[in-house]
Amino acid sequence: MISGHTSDVPESPMALTRAQVENIAHLARLELEAGEIPQFQQNLSRIVDFIGELERADTAGVTPMAHPLPGLAQRLRPDAVTERDEHERYQRNAPQVASGLYLVPKVIE
């Protein structure tokens, strides 16, 4: 590689190209300076490579867990109604209501 020249050829099978990083930045609505792209390209490629490593981990026979600490369980409350339905009272203050729904002015044409 020529010094100072950023290649579009990925360094590893999972590495992102400059064009891919530019597309990601566009989709994320980020403005990147030309000099920032190589650093983002390197960092994002490392993340993608790490995810690839995680995907290769053998998880056969591993029981999924709901909590990272052994012996702890998620405390659940009973699924019971605890408050009265007062939507009619709340809707009395609304400027416009129809069929139990709040009517609002159209804001998008």
Give 86-106 pLDDT, tens digit per residue: 989 999 999 999 998 999 988
Please tell me whether the overall predicted TM-score, pTM, comes out greater than 0.75 for this model: no
**Residue 4 binned pLDDT confidence (cut-offs 50, 70, 90):** very low
Q: Could you tell me if 38 and 75 are in contact, meaning their C-beta atoms sit under 8 angstroms apart? A: no
Query: Which residues, 6 or more positions from 96, have their beta carbon under 8 angstroms from its beta carbon?
Result: 102, 103, 104
Structure tokens at 11: 């360094």
| Domains in the chain: boundaries | 18-56
Give 60-81 pLDDT, tens digit per residue: 998 887 777 777 777 788 899 9
pLDDT at position 109? 72
